[in-house]
Chain A
């Protein structure tokens, strides 16, 4: 049985009137890539800061590797790698010097550190840029440097707080592949993001939080099962009347249908051949239609259905 690496119980953090974390409970197990998904301001970074003892909290407890974390829990911190949301590197040092500095905060042995730094450089693909200063790097390369600084010392737990913000697709893919590699090498990963595609792609278990509260938790499959939508059908339709839309809503397994900007979106739960039934109705009622495609539910649908709002508000 896998051991819990991080256990958050009833965590409450207030900023004056604002409740940033409202009795948050989470458990992250060894070997997981745990996704913390939520819109901006939902409390993801606050939760991460509490796990790292960067913030004092008002109530609850945070245990990392079985021990309560405190600002001076240096024996715990030496096993944690951190990639903060804001790129935290020295503008005055080169790529290599930056990685060496942060790795050196954990690894005292010079030879081992050199090996680790070189591995980190290779891991994030910055080999050509080791002598570059951060201001000469693109946004994507800078993010990669930030990751290298966080993971060079080969920690058991890696916390990545929105590491792909403002990153080009190529760098983003590289970062996501890197996270999977780190996990494959044995690291437990906590990954926060408001990009559901990324979370869907890399995370083995996901918690969705909003307004400081956990609103759902499970694997992506488990989360999708929590909602009614099994299938979403999009059809390009011209001139659909209100009566016809109402009749569509009466079809078997259809629980919702919207029509806007010549696009009909039909939400179905369960059943088979739903698309056939809908197209048959349109043909029989002489409604002309064009492009047709279906979509399986996404985490965005999960979020939308649970909270009633889009993830990227």
Chain B
């Protein structure tokens, strides 16, 4: 009990720095939760270009082309002087400039379809190529209708209708990013917070007790090695639980409609296992690392590696096959996989294999790392 009390006293003295770490990492994670969900939702939104058009033709086809471009892009007047025009392109105030010469409609209807339009753009720019492809695509479709014997009005109408069609984009696994609940992202970032803050908050306290002089002095006492370690682990669990409960409380305040449901409870259990993993990692590193500065470095490297490779910061869907093979060795991968699957749970029987696998693998990792940490501790104690 004495070890536990001293542990808590040291934690109390380190509370200001713990709060700073905690605030920083929660801030980062909440910001990333917002940014992450937004960026995924916009993945398939069409890019809007800034296009200037000089239309010297008063025919129907040129008018139709301008109307079409106006639907998807911001069409503006062409700058008055050449210098202004070049500046606008250089500064990316304009992505594309289209010149439609007089008599364009007549020539097009007469079959002269190549080389009558002129454009200016940033050479080799993706925006320029995109605009080119849109103009060429529209005129090509229009030409097909005209060649097929449709009247000018019909051809224009049909072409416009063709380009109004849109395609619903969905992930191969059936998920639509836009439909993901924000709480799923909140849960997704929790392991990053746990790993970062627990290493930084609990690691230094463990280091104090594992310091060579204190350790030697404790070994001279009548409190057994196992008892001392159990109290140290107990103290760490109490601090980690406090952090866990605090984060769950924040989650409930932000997303009560998700977290106060079965899927929320299962997600919270998943997060709890991730917390145990973070604790084990911390206990292991405290045995290996000797200085607090080194622990900071380890915390950053470890949390970022696990976050990136585990799919916390980057969606697992965009990982290549080889990266995924590596990711499967990382517990955060199993956490994220389970977290995504949990989002579809509505009743207990829907807790599928990926979720159970996620739980089991995280649990195994936590026990294995804690055992390894205890083993190193034992070896060091005998040195």
Contacts and interface: CB of A to CB of B under 8 A. Distances in A.
B214 A90 contact: yes
Contacts of B224: 72, 74
A105 B1 CA distance: 9
Contacts of B223: 74, 105
B217 A82 contact: yes
B222 A106 contact: yes
Contacts, number: 68
B53 to A, nearest CB: 71
B6 interface: yes
Contact of B216 (A56, A77, A88): A88
Given A88-B214, A92-B13, A80 B220 contact: yes
A74 B223 CA distance: 7
Contact of A92 (B208, B225, B382): B208
B10 interface: yes
A52 B220 contact: yes
B217 A93 contact: no
Contact of A75 (B208, B222, B382): B222
A71 interface: yes
Counting chain B residues whose Cβ lies within 8 A of the other chain, the interface size class is 20 to 34
A44 to B, nearest CB: 16
B2 interface: yes
Given A72-B224, A90-B10, A54 B219 contact: yes
A105 B221 contact: yes
Interface in B220-249: 220-225
Nearest to B219: A54
B222 A84 contact: no
Secondary structure of the A side of the interface?
Answer: loop
Given A90-B10, A92-B9, A106 B221 contact: yes
A93 B216 contact: no
Secondary structure of the B side of the interface?
Answer: helix
A162 to B, nearest CB: 14
B179 interface: no
A201 B224 CA distance: 37
A97 B382 CA distance: 28
Interface in A53-108: 53-54, 56, 71-72, 74-75, 77-78, 80, 82, 84, 86-93, 97, 101-102, 104-106
B377 interface: no
B300 interface: no
A92 B14 CA distance: 9
B218 interface: yes
Interface in B339-383: 381-382
Contact of A88 (B1, B5, B217, B225): B217
A257 B381 CA distance: 54
Interface centre among B6, B220, B221, B222 (most CB of A within 10 A): B220
Given A92-B10, A92-B208, A101-B6, A87 B213 contact: yes
24 contacts: A54-B216, A71-B219, A71-B382, A72-B224, A74-B223, A80-B220, A82-B220, A84-B217, A88-B214, A88-B216, A88-B217, A90-B6, A90-B10, A90-B208, A91-B208, A92-B13, A93-B9, A93-B13, A97-B6, A102-B221, A105-B218, A105-B223, A106-B221, A149-B217
Given A80-B220, A87-B213, 7 more contacts: A74-B222, A74-B223, A78-B222, A92-B13, A92-B208, A101-B2, A104-B2
